[in-house]
Amino acid sequence: MKKQLIIGTRSSPLALWQAEFTKAELSRHFPELDITLKLVKTTGDVLLDSPLSKIGDMGLFTKDIEKHLIAKEIDLAVHSLKDVPTSTPEGLIITSFTDREDTRDVIISKTGAKLLDLPQNAKVATSSLRRMSQLKSLRPDFEICDIRGNLNTRFKKFDEGGFDAMMLAYAGVHRLNFGDRISEILPHEIMLPAVGQGALGIETRVDDEQTREIVRILNHANTEYCCKAERALLRHLQGGCQIPIGAYASFRNGTLRLLAFVGSVDGTIGIRDEITRTGLISPDQAEEAGIALAEELLKQGADKILSEIRKTC
């Protein structure tokens, strides 16, 4: 058994919370381990002047950390799973999916107003095409404003800027104790989350069996089923672009239910469907369900939506 572990992480407050959480959980199970953090500045942390959709790199928040992992300068990387591309670099693997936080999105508004009560032509801040598409579908009058940076930076920009509201993931808001700022938690019927939202993905080298054995203690089976279904759906649809896709899977007593949404950026076209599979006994079957739902969405016209979006990638 290893005596030391080095965790690679971004340096944002939320990333540090995630890394410290992972460190604490591993120390609880393996108190003899000496665990340290290595902070890595990623491309996504540096390029803050352009919308994520315009940068076009699917590994903005992970690639630089993965380089350290491949070089054996760290033993594991802790990521927000929603930031992790659906295909990991050769030699790396997501070994553990941690117990998932609430997956829903939230509205932060300056007056405390809920989403549907925001004024006509309200300025809503988000950097997510997924959120933009679903928001514009619900309220075409909204003016969507790009906002980038870590969570603390976004709150500062929001408070100092001319925005009416801002959309964020509940998980990050809750973890950094901004819960008192939430105006509304949005149900999945209104806003489907990003693939993997609320879960942490712990990435290791495939051939580092000692670290993988240690890290597996943090794997949450239900989360693994759900996230593998969502990631398989995204992998089957995506093709390397930032595109408006939302998904949410639940798994109980061998039954997986997966909801998904694909829409145009302007919200004028949207396709939403779901699939239920029973008797699942392996995560591979969850991935098969994700692929099946992706195929169904393509048959219903998602291929045309995605084709138009890819022309601008």
Q: Could you tell me the two tokens for 168?
A: 């964020």
Q: What percent of the chain has pLDDT over 70?
A: 94
Asked whether residue 52 carries a pLDDT value surpassing 70, the answer given is: no
Q: Could you tell me the two tokens for 267?
A: 């919200």
Q: How confident is the model at residue 42 (pLDDT cuts 50, 70, 90)?
A: confident
pTM of the predicted protein model: 0.93
* Closest CA relative to residue 244, chosen from 227, 268, 225, 274: 268
- pLDDT mean over 162-166: 97
From CA 40, how far away is CA 25, in angstroms rounded? 21
Length of the chain: 313
- pLDDT mean over 154-162: 96
Which pLDDT score, from 0 to 100, does residue 243 have?
A: 85
44 CB neighbour count, 10 Å cutoff: 21
Which pLDDT score, from 0 to 100, does residue 241 have?
A: 63
CB 258, CB 287: distance < 8 Å: no
From CA 147, how far away is CA 11, in angstroms rounded? 19
Q: Which of 64, 83, 105, 208 is catalytic?
A: 83
- pLDDT mean over 11-23: 96
- pLDDT tens across 171-205, in order? 999 999 999 999 999 999 999 999 999 999 999 99
Domains for the chain: give ranges and CATH numbers: 1-98+199-219 (3.40.190.10), 105-185 (3.40.190.10), 220-313 (3.30.160.40)
CB 74, CB 6: distance < 8 Å: yes
Dihedral (C-alpha) 51, 122, 106, 203: value to the nearest 10 degrees? 0
- pLDDT tens across 238-261, in order? 755 678 999 999 999 999 999 999
- pLDDT tens across 115-134, in order? 999 999 999 999 899 999 99
From CA 105, how far away is CA 267, in angstroms rounded? 18
C-alpha dist (Å) from residue 13 to 81, 145, 149, 174, 310 = 16, 23, 11, 13, 33
Torsion 301-302-303-304 (CA) sign: positive
- pLDDT tens across 201-220, in order? 999 999 999 999 999 999 99
- Judged by DSSP in three states, 276 sits in strand
Annotated catalytic residue 45: no
Q: What percent of the chain has pLDDT over 90?
A: 87
Q: Which residue has the tokens 């936080």?
A: 101
From CA 33, how far away is CA 53, in angstroms rounded? 40
Which pLDDT score, from 0 to 100, does residue 58 have?
A: 62
From CA 200, how far away is CA 172, in angstroms rounded? 11
- pLDDT mean over 83-101: 96
Q: How confident is the model at residue 55 (pLDDT cuts 50, 70, 90)?
A: very low
Asked whether residue 15 carries a pLDDT value surpassing 90, the answer given is: yes
Q: How confident is the model at residue 111 (pLDDT cuts 50, 70, 90)?
A: very high
Which pLDDT score, from 0 to 100, does residue 43 have?
A: 66
Which pLDDT score, from 0 to 100, does residue 46 have?
A: 55
Q: Tell me the sheet residues that pair with 273.
A: 260
Which pLDDT score, from 0 to 100, does residue 309 have?
A: 84
Summary mean pLDDT of the chain: 93
Asked whether residue 137 carries a pLDDT value surpassing 50, the answer given is: yes
Q: Which residue has the tokens 């309200």?
A: 122
Which pLDDT score, from 0 to 100, does residue 41 have?
A: 83
- pLDDT tens across 296-307, in order? 999 999 999 998
